[in-house]
Structures are given as C-alpha cells and as structure tokens.
Chain A
Amino acid sequence: MNGSDIAAIFQGAIMTVTLSFIGILIGLPIGLGLALIRWANVPVVARIVTLYVSMLRATPLVTLLLLLFFALPNIGVPINPISAAILGLVMNTSAFNCEVWRSALMNFPKDQYEAAQSVGMRAGQRFRRIVLPQIVRVSLPGLVNEMSLLIKVTPVLAVVGVVDITRAAVRIGAQTYEPLPPFLVAIALYAPIVFALVSLQRWIERRQTAAEALA
C-alpha cells in the first residue's frame, strides 16, 4: 500500500464525514417534525407517519438505497448517487430520531404545558420556551447514539457507487491482495470519530443522572 492509496482512503473519509454530517443535520429536525405530528395526533397524517416510521425502521439501509437509486428513475424521478445516498441516510435516521423525540415528548410533564397555557402563552412560544429545551435535554443521549449508528452504516453507500472509507479500503485490498493494511487504516479513521460520539453520549448520561440525583 503506497501513499496514493492512503490518500484515496482519506478522500473516502471526507466523503464519509460530509455525508454523515448532512444526514445528521437534516435528519434531526425531520425526526422532530415526525414526532410532533404523532404527538399532536394530527388526523390521518399521524397514522401515515406511524406507518412510514415502522417500515423505515424495519428496512435495511442497503435495500432502501437500492430501492431509491434504481426504482425512482423507473417511475420518472431522476436521482444521482450522492442524492440517493443523502436521501437514504435522512429517511433512515429521521425514522429512528422520531422515536427518540417521541419518547421524550410523551414523557413530558403535562402540567408544565397546561400551566403555560393558562398563563396565556401562545402555542409557538409554549413550544419554543418550555417544551423544546427540556425534550432536547432528555433526547440527547438517544440522538447521539443514533448519530454514531449513522456513521457506522455509511459503508453501505458503496452499493450506489459512493466511495467512502470502507469502499476505498476494499478497492485497494482487491488490487494489492494485501487487504489488512488498508483495513487497519480504515479502523484508525472510524474508531476515533465513533468513540468520540459514544464518549459524548456517556458523559451526557452521567451528567443527567447526577443532575437528577441533586434535584
């Protein structure tokens, strides 16, 4: 394995980090929106969201990507590999995020909400100032867990031609017939990122249990 091979893996890393970042960024608010729809029990739409979330959580990302990439053009919607990758990641992570947000919303103490209502706060204010800060706090561990899961699922983007860390490493191994060195480089790139997220999650959880113990 030579210098240009390592450069290829690093290019894959840029792709991995960029697509993960975009997926996480877009998936978080969409997950929140889906959870709100279900929490508010909007007629008809809430049921559709339930169905959507249930199916997406059951579908492997690999199959979803193949479906999006090959089948959408089949029904007239053109899509390129990067868009398919982002769309697949966002659909997948928003479904899981939805459940995390929803669990926080359902455990939200109603009395606070009603107190705000009786004081005369409008719905938007109620949400922004009372509900949102608290559910963000509660959802944080679950959301960070989902972020690390998203990064760990990015190698699958290779099926639509996106070259990420894993695909770059595999390609080099398939050329040199010495697969271990590129694999080790790949591990060295993934592990710090995921470990940082997992540690962040544990730190948040510890701080929250400590805060609750004091309260």
Chain B
Amino acid sequence: MKMHSIAHTNSLSRRLLLGSMAALFAMPMMIGNAKAAGLEEIKKRGFIVATEDDFRPFEFVKDGKPTGFDNEMIEDLRKYAPFEIKQEILPWTGILAGVSTGKYDAAITAVIITKERKQSLDFTSPIADATHYYVKRKDDKSISSIKDLSGKTVGVQAGSALLGRLPELGAMLEKQGGKLGKVVEYTSYPEAYQDLALGRVDYVVNTVINLQTLVAEKPIFEVGQAVSGQSYPAWAVAKDNKELLAFLNDFIAKEKASGRFAELQKKWFGEAFPNLPVAFEPDF
C-alpha cells in the first residue's frame, strides 16, 4: 500500500499546510481562554467538580462506587447546595489544568497549596495536614534516617506539589553532605507504591495522611521522617472566582461547626485536625 507523502507535494499543499498551521495557532488567541463561571451561572447549569480516580484516603473507587473523605464531603455538599452537582472522575494530571481553564468549577481533591499554584488558582480553607513524608519497604534496612536517602531513587506523582517540593528534601540532604537521587514520575500513586514493592524505587514521597493509610493496608511498607516543612491541602477553584470560594469556605466552616468535619477526618485519616488554619500562605 503506497503511502502518501506530504514531503513531495506541490506549492498549493505547502501553502495550505502553512495556512492551516497559522489558523491552528491563531484560533485559540481569537477565542481566548474560557472564563471561570460565577455563582449565578453555576446555579443555572450545575456545579462541575473534579475528583481524582485513585488517591486514598481522600477519594477512590471501592466496589464500583466513589468513596473517601472528599467523596463523602461531596455527598454533604449535595444536601447543602441549592444546585445540582456534577462530578467528573479523572486522573490527577488533568484536574488542575481543567480548573484553571474553566472546564471544571472546582477540584474537590487534596490539592497542596503552593506559591506557584496560587498564581492560577485560589484555595479554600485547608482540609487536612499534608506534611510530606517518605515511605520505604519495611525490610529495607539501608534507610533509617533522612541522610540515608542520599543517591536513592524516589518515586512521586507527576505534576504534584510533592514533586515540586523535592528541592526542599534536596537541600536537607545537601546540608548533610548527600544529594537527591533519581526521580521517577508516575501517573498515580498506586503505580509508584507497586514499583516500591518491586524494588524499582527506594522510597516514595507523599503526604502523611496518604502514607499512614497505605501502611495500615500494606504492612510491607513503613513511614519514615518528614521531608518538608508545613504543608496543607485544600480544594481549588480558578483564580479570582471569589463568589465560589466564599461559598465553599462557608460550607467547610459549617461542617467544622457541626462536628461533621472532625468526624470524617477521624474516619478517613485516623485523627482529626482541629487546629487547621482558615487560610494559608505557603512559603513554597
């Protein structure tokens, strides 16, 4: 079967090629980025939220149904909100991009607050403590403190704050004469943990809550020490979407006041975090 080759076509095709390339680039400039929707528009067409498909214990799928801390909060939100809530479940790498371009109104997932993210997103009150820790194989005796991590291979989720804050760990290691080893980026954490179990990576960095949940389910792992400073996850909306932000913060405050917040935290994280700030400015 002969293959058609653009390389040998005449000038009309070449002009068309250049023309369509120009159109392809010009089009987005003309239409512009989609704007984030205000509360009025959300009331009319429904509230579109995005959650991750496998991020225990915040959200995951069990026996075909979405469950976890964030999913239960969404159930409460459905009773609280005067409009319909539509939930999209997708991989992490698409969530923040979707919120910042207006495809989703909010990310109801544990988004760690970082300086870089604050440039295109606004965050609600933090929902948990998210100090970064590392986890290793329990039978790996070569790692017992931070300085043993020098030169070892680390697994993290692509596009995550945990990846973004690895330099903090790198600085910690350098102070003790070591350095950060090879970094492997995964689409989601279950794959990283699987590779940890298989020995392809030596340690995985995630928040303390995720790791404690993991170790409770899989005792072949053990949580190590903290590899970052103070860190909090929250829900994210597009920048300057003040009405929606106020709405969500009111909801969170109500959940805290009624004790439901602490109840869900104890259920999913093993402990409540009663002293979470109402707003948080990150150093990183």
Q: Which residues of A contact B (CB under 8 A)?
A: 4, 7-8, 11, 44, 47-48, 50-51, 53-54, 69-70, 73-76, 78, 80-81, 99, 103, 158-161, 171, 173-175, 177, 179
B34, A74: Cβ atoms closer than 8 Å: yes
A7–B65 Cα gap in the complex (Å)? 13
B4, A53: Cβ atoms closer than 8 Å: yes
A158–B32 Cα gap in the complex (Å)? 29
Does B219 belong to the interface (CB within 8 Å)?
Answer: no
A94–B191 Cα gap in the complex (Å)? 34
Residue of B nearest to A99 (CB): B1
Chain B residues whose C-beta falls within 8 Å of the C-beta of A175 in the assembled complex: 190
B122, chain A: closest CB distance, angstroms: 19
A161, B32: Cβ atoms closer than 8 Å: no
Chain A residues whose C-beta falls within 8 Å of the C-beta of B225 in the assembled complex: none
The count of chain B contact residues (Cβ–Cβ below 8 Å) is: 36
B4, A54: Cβ atoms closer than 8 Å: yes
Q: Which residues of B contact A (CB under 8 A)?
A: 1, 4, 6, 9, 12-13, 16-17, 20, 27-28, 31-34, 53-54, 63-64, 88-91, 94, 97-98, 101-103, 187, 190-191, 193-194, 197, 218
B13, A50: Cβ atoms closer than 8 Å: yes
Partner of B194, one of A11, A103, A161, A173: A173
**Count the A-B residue pairs with Cβ separation under 8 angstroms: how many?**
79
Residue of B nearest to A162 (CB): B90
Partner of B12, one of A47, A173, A177: A47
Chain A residues whose C-beta falls within 8 Å of the C-beta of B94 in the assembled complex: 69-70, 160-161
Chain B residues whose C-beta falls within 8 Å of the C-beta of A44 in the assembled complex: 16
Can you offer 14 A-B residue contacts whose CB atoms are under 8 A?
A8-B64, A47-B13, A50-B4, A73-B34, A73-B98, A74-B97, A74-B101, A76-B31, A76-B33, A78-B34, A81-B88, A99-B4, A160-B94, A174-B194
A54, B6: Cβ atoms closer than 8 Å: yes
B6, A177: Cβ atoms closer than 8 Å: no
Chain A residues whose C-beta falls within 8 Å of the C-beta of B13 in the assembled complex: 47, 50-51
B20, A74: Cβ atoms closer than 8 Å: no
Q: Known A47-B13, A50-B6, A70-B97; judge A174-B1 contact (CB<8 A).
A: no
Q: Known A4-B63, A51-B13, A51-B17; judge A177-B197 contact (CB<8 A).
A: yes
Chain B residues whose C-beta falls within 8 Å of the C-beta of A174 in the assembled complex: 54, 190-191, 193-194
Residue of A nearest to B30 (CB): A75
Chain B residues whose C-beta falls within 8 Å of the C-beta of A179 in the assembled complex: 194
B12, A73: Cβ atoms closer than 8 Å: no
Partner of A80, one of B6, B20, B88, B193: B88
Chain B residues whose C-beta falls within 8 Å of the C-beta of A73 in the assembled complex: 34, 98, 101-103
Partner of A76, one of B34, B53, B54, B194: B34
Chain A residues whose C-beta falls within 8 Å of the C-beta of B27 in the assembled complex: 75
Q: Which 4 A-B residue pairings sit nearest by Cβ, starting from the closest?
A: A73-B103, A161-B90, A174-B190, A75-B28
A11–B65 Cα gap in the complex (Å)? 13
A65, chain B: closest CB distance, angstroms: 11
A161, B28: Cβ atoms closer than 8 Å: no
A11–B190 Cα gap in the complex (Å)? 21
A51–B118 Cα gap in the complex (Å)? 41
B25, chain A: closest CB distance, angstroms: 11
B91, A161: Cβ atoms closer than 8 Å: yes
Chain B residues whose C-beta falls within 8 Å of the C-beta of A47 in the assembled complex: 12-13, 16
A160, B103: Cβ atoms closer than 8 Å: no
B31, A75: Cβ atoms closer than 8 Å: yes
Chain B residues whose C-beta falls within 8 Å of the C-beta of A69 in the assembled complex: 94
A100, chain B: closest CB distance, angstroms: 8
B4, chain A: closest CB distance, angstroms: 6
Partner of B20, one of A48, A81, A159, A177: A48
Partner of A171, one of B33, B97, B190: B190
Partner of A81, one of B4, B90, B193: B90
A171–B88 Cα gap in the complex (Å)? 18
Chain A residues whose C-beta falls within 8 Å of the C-beta of B54 in the assembled complex: 171, 174
